[in-house]
Structure 1
């Protein structure tokens, strides 16, 4: 008998074509792509559940982050979903931006490349007596005029960041470019310091004492903010007793305090190579809240009993105190599981792997798709110069941590939903059918036949088959790009990727504000003054912005490393795979460091097809626009 999938409403049942519905107006924040088009993130999600596509010629000069009013063409729905045009810019999202000088004194003006404006628009910079600007200078810019059809945007230098040739300025430039906050107000720091450096006896007395549980943490080697600890035992009946213990940040960050206001404004921590811009001061994020080994820490514990199939039998949620018995890195835990290193926690790790595989099997059975994609890790020195980059495999140690976090998040969401709390859900809409159709065509061109509207089982079979091929990583990444982004919402439409009806984020309150809000809902009365929908919208937007900042710095570090390699070995050849063929050339991926490039060709060039293996050589790198030029290695 076929197992029934959890029900959640489809939001993408539209088909391209005409409709008799009247056009509507929507207000929200526009997110503009470097190529000029954008998407409106509506403030009224119940009325506009999907982001609204804005073609390049209909943005009316709006830039990323502006609050705008958009006319939504409900009488016509494109393949990208609802479409509209900007009618009015209600407020500018920024008054200051970051830019890099590209032309000195062209027709009496200095110009800057401003990533926020895209690649086709430069900003004129007024002359200053403070500093003679030269090509490559990265500066803070106060925007005087955003320009128009025949007028460049205009700004004046408000501060100097450094030169594009100086890697130590990369993160400072990104912080300015993406409007992030690094320094904390003194009032916030004072509140953080007021809690001292250790848990006090009076804070423990009213909590469940879980000192004796064999709790461990498993995190990246460079991590300092340990949000979660795990414990697992198995009884004579074969039942698993899983404990997911999360730092009790809500004990320290109270509503209405400076700490809370600052955390809400930041919404999340931002992770750059060699540096973190934290949501909370280091006194909390790296010390008092961090679940370090062999010290008392205040936690929220989710204690679950699961049967031999991994099904949940019962659970308990409590405020607790624990002591982590061991801080594992992913690499160290993997060595223990592989038998390369001895540890008294080896039985616990093997038991965790056993339960992890059960939960993965359950997830696959309900239609959840797993990609197991590697991540790129870049090591930099103290001056920001990239030293090396390597792929971090998504091995069993990463998987077991993720499975237990998923289980805890699902359970908390279900628990709070039953209580009728105004939960901020983590939701994920079903993909646009047209996008899935395009992906099916792509997969078929790589030798993995797929129907135009595949089931989740057919998709998972494809990814399993492609995983060991040269194209597995690219196909998985392409499918992820074809899906809509997950976000936060008080409207529970379910989570497509996980195939869950109820899901939230609970397990990372040190680095995500939404998780802190969820913790409060567990133990505090609902505050009618709190606008949970606004919090969900803001956290979703901040998450996207932070991801852009992180990706921009990672890309710049990759290009710096490529440039260094080219200088030492100009003839360096990189194996690559053709990923997309166009009339003017083809896109390719260098899998060794997850880089996508494009190689222009002419009609006399040899013909290439998707999936073909090639070798490429780097020709030029532009660190300002983050663009590269390549040649075929013949």
Structure 2
């Protein structure tokens, strides 16, 4: 039987007591000469991937057997970095700047762990770059006398790229450079400009810059665009589906939404029970596995949303056309039908393909105006739907109560919404409003996702779970110590914590001055949710089983779950071959989609930060009221009250005292005056600088700018000296600044 990569890894895991030669490994497998050659190629591939290490003498071992870590390097603008290793394979490894070697941010590297510090923290050096993250880099072109160079826009790429040949690019233009020679210890990278994007102030160039910086595929291959897409449901597609065309399903989305992948309907039943239908666009019917459209969707893994722009996972003919549950037209859907009791407990669930027709396209604002505000004008536009919305409100509140009872955490933190003018420039930055309408849809989608995960798990079907592991004990201990300063407690005697304990803690702090601080610090202690084939539960939702099912238009894991669900419904089980295939591909697919999700979030965050900086660029010198939103050793982050923008008050600008950072309390304390800054404190700040390239906004505390008090003191001393000599100071009718206050100085 031919040897597989798994066989090789298992052998090294169980039997290698020292680094083994190629012959020592292959002699353990009774294979033919041809199969032996294939095994050698497999070992080479494992070495290239970093799963196996080959030392200078040609012997093989697993990375952890020889104190080596393999992972992705995250570089810092100051030169150092961290190697992020896969979950469960150890802690991240700190790499000092002098040991970064030839690695660039994002590269897959092999690092030797040379020292382990307290708390399991490791330090090491880069041994080898296994895979380069950047074939191209986006940056700003700067010409020289005999050559030019490109300054990468990502500050984590710390090397300027040397451009040897003549270029048509003008100084300051944004360009894409292909790296021809990567950096070494003695020289910078070299490259060739392959595309000139244009003026950095052009809104279109801003989008393209982010797209290229994060490697987002924004053009669909022609072979994908050439695939015909129907504009309406074919008669034959209705066969084998339940007919829900008479059910009053509605979509509820934002005003600017263009694709609608979920519709909901409810009905009151006996004994206070409520039946819920969640109909999700049947994308899998139109996107078959392995087709060019599917392969492109796998590569993208998620849609990316910018202000006024979307880079979709699927072509527009699908995402905004036949797969969008537009009102008044027939559409295919996968439906989760669930029954809940008066406490929000799911009593039964059923899943099936259906054909439907949305009764209305509602917005969150319209639903809020009807359900909360009882606006008669809006209700008059939807008289048949309004009663169902009141039932939806009832069910959503039941589901919320049920989740809270089991300990689900709800961090209701607002997000920034950028209002653009006709030129694509930021006109305003506001807090996005979350109202009851948002809660209705969120609760219904959560319920459907849980129900599908339970159903597929019961049928032992491999799938990608949405996993959220508990926080690390080290962070919980730090949080326990932090909240003790506010007279709160957290029982960690069992070596772990239940979500209900944290929820109870947050409930106790609700409405108190420290509420926001406790919420923020706890959120930063949490792990990031991810996709994985092994179920580890969802800590934040306090859910034993959870997956993503409700957004197949914009998330690939949802599309995969749809396919698995359809197969299970057809045969009540998965064929052995299909099960084996999924078990083989899901680990890598989970890692890939999780990485793509993080990439999309980073790109979305950066464009928002850019728009915030552009909005504040012309407000230098203006004062604003704000709240301290974060405290770090280098200063205070302040969030403005009237504009949803955050900036930094650097510690060097706090000129009235020597300030020290108290890490355990997340606060800054003055050494002499004992003045304290912590999250939630109200302050007034002045905008002093906006750095568009770094996406940074600098504040000073209003009335306490550096040098202002010293200037006032010097003026006072000058007046005193003149007075002592019997001279009248020449104020010339002006007011002098003294300790930040205005006063008339008389002899």
Give the TM interval when normalised to the shorter protein: 0.7 to 0.9
Match of 2:151 among 113, 118, 123: 113
Q: Distance in 2 between matches of 1:540 and 1:487?
A: 5
- Which residue of 220, 224, 234 corresponds with 1:184? 220
The reply to whether residue 495 of structure 1 matches residue 532 of structure 2 is no
Distance in 2 separating the partners of 1:109 and 1:83: 38
Q: Which residue of 2 aligns with 1:626?
A: 695
Q: Which moved more, 1:244-253 or 1:456-465?
A: 456-465
Which residue in the other structure is 2:269 paired with? 235
TM-superposed CA distance for 1:602, in Å, is: 6.0
Q: Distance in 2 between matches of 1:468 and 1:211?
A: 46
Cα distance in 2 for residues equivalent to 1:470 and 1:284: 49
Which residue is equivalent to 2:310? 276
The aligned runs of 1:54-203 (5 Å cut-off) are: 54-57=94-97, 59-71=100-112, 76=116, 79=119, 85-101=125-141, 104-105=143-144, 110-116=148-154, 118=156, 121-135=158-172, 137-191=173-227, 194-203=228-237
CA contact (8 A) 2:647 2:699 kept: no
- Cα 1:132/1:238, change in 2 over 3 Å: closer
Q: How far 1:560 sits from its partner (Å)?
A: 0.4
Which of 477, 482, 489 aligns to 1:437? It is 477
Residue from 548, 553, 563 that aligns with 2:602:
548
Of the structure 1 ranges 310-319 and 161-170, higher mean CA displacement relative to structure 2 is found in: 161-170
For 1:246 and 1:578, locate their aligned partners in 2 and report how far apart those are by CA, in whole Å. Answer: 38
Note if contact 2:197-2:208 (Cα within 8 Å) is conserved in structure 1.
yes
Distance 1:83 1:304, change over 3 A: farther
The structural deviation recorded for 1:222 is 1.0
* Residue of structure 2 equivalent to 1:18: none
Q: Secondary structure at the match of 1:229?
A: strand
Distance between the aligned counterparts of 2:166 and 2:65, measured in 1?
55
Q: Distance in 1 between matches of 2:70 and 2:597?
A: 20
TM-score, with structure 2 as normaliser: 0.75
Contact residue 63 and residue 117 of structure 1 kept, 8 A: no
CA shift, 1:33, in A, is 5.3
SS in 1 for 2:474: helix
Give the deviation of 1:134 after TM superposition: 1.3
The 1:609/1:124 distance shift into structure 2, 3 A limit, reads: same
- Distance change >3 Å, CA 179–CA 210, structure 1 → 2: same
- Distance between the aligned counterparts of 1:471 and 1:590, measured in 2? 18
Given the alignment, which residue of 207, 210, 219 partners 2:253?
219
8 A contact 1:168–1:385 mirrored in 2: no
Bigger Cα displacement from structure 2, 58-67 vs 364-373? 58-67
Are 1:586 and 2:636 counterparts? yes
Write out aligned runs for 1:239-250 (5 A): 239-250=273-284
Q: 1:40 matched to which residue of 2?
A: 84
The Cα of 1:79 is off from its aligned counterpart by: 3.7
> Shift of residue 132 of structure 1?
4.3
Aligned to 2:589, the other structure's residue is in SS state helix
Q: 2:102, 2:432 → 1: CA distance?
A: 41
Which deviates more, 52-61 or 512-521? 52-61
Partner of 1:403: 443
- Using a 3 Å threshold, how does the CA distance of structure 1 residues 536 and 51 change in structure 2: closer, same or farther? farther
8 A contact 2:647–2:698 mirrored in 1 = no
Deviation at 1:60, TM superposition (A): 3.9
**Deviations 1:56-112 (CA, angstroms, capped at 9, x unpaired):** 445544333322234467x947547677654321110220111124x553x865443
Q: In the alignment, is the contact (CA less than 8 A) between 2:211 and 2:218 conserved in 1?
A: yes
2:654 pairs with 1:613:
no
Residue 62 and residue 398 in structure 1: after superposition, are their counterparts in 2 closer, same or farther (change >3 A)?
farther
Q: Larger Cα Rg: Structure 1 or Structure 2?
A: 2
Cα distance between partner residues in 1 of 2:219 and 2:632: 46
CA shift, 1:467, in A, is 5.4
Distance between the aligned counterparts of 2:491 and 2:272, measured in 1?
Answer: 43
Over 3 Å counting, the alpha-carbon distance change for 1:581 and 1:285 in structure 2 is: closer
| Conserved? CA contact 1:34–1:115, under 8 Å | no
Question: How many Å apart are 1:236 and its aligned residue?
Answer: 2.4
Q: Distance between the aligned counterparts of 1:498 and 1:83, measured in 2?
A: 35
Return the structure number with greater helix share: 2
Matching residue within 389, 393, 398 for 2:433: 393
**522-531 vs 355-364, which moves further:** 522-531
Residue in 2 aligned with 1:359? 399
Q: Specify the alignment match of 1:12 in structure 2.
A: none
1:598 aligns to 2:649 (yes or no): yes
CA distance in 2, matches of 1:496, 1:118: 32
- State the structure with bigger RCO (CA 8 A, min sep 6), 1 or 2: 1
* Residues 409, 614 of structure 1: alpha-carbon distance in 2 compared, 3 angstrom cutoff: same
The CA distance in 2 between the partners of 1:23 and 1:430, in whole Å, is 29
The alpha-carbon deviation at position 227 of structure 1 amounts to 1.2
- 1:237-386 correspondence runs (5 A): 237-338=271-372, 339-340=374-375, 341-342=378-379, 343-344=382-383, 345-386=385-426
Task: Decide whether the 8 Å contact of 1:111 with 1:122 is kept in 2.
Answer: no
User: How many Å apart are 1:463 and its aligned residue?
Assistant: 3.5
CA contact (8 A) 2:464 2:532 kept: yes
State the alpha-carbon separation in 2 of the partners of residues 399 and 80 from structure 1.
Answer: 41
Which consecutive unaligned segments of at least 5 residues does structure 1 have? 1-20
Cα shift at 1:287:
1.3
Q: Gaps (5+ residues) in structure 2?
A: 1-63, 568-573, 658-669, 671-675, 704-747
CA distance in 1, matches of 2:156, 2:296: 30
Q: 1:302 to 1:426 in 2, by over 3 A?
A: same
| Structure 1 SS opposite 2:226 | helix
3-state DSSP of counterpart to 2:325: coil
Matches of 2:284 and 2:487 in 1, distance apart? 48
CA distance in 2, matches of 1:62, 1:452: 43
Range 431-440 or range 335-344, more displaced:
431-440
Q: Which residue of the partner structure matches residue 5 of structure 1?
A: none
CA 1:313/1:187 → structure 2, altered by over 3 Å: closer, same or farther? same
C-alpha distance 84-334 of structure 1, shift in aligned 2 (>3 A): farther
Deviation at residue 281 of structure 1 after TM alignment:
0.2
The two structures have a TM-score, normalised by structure 1, of: 0.88
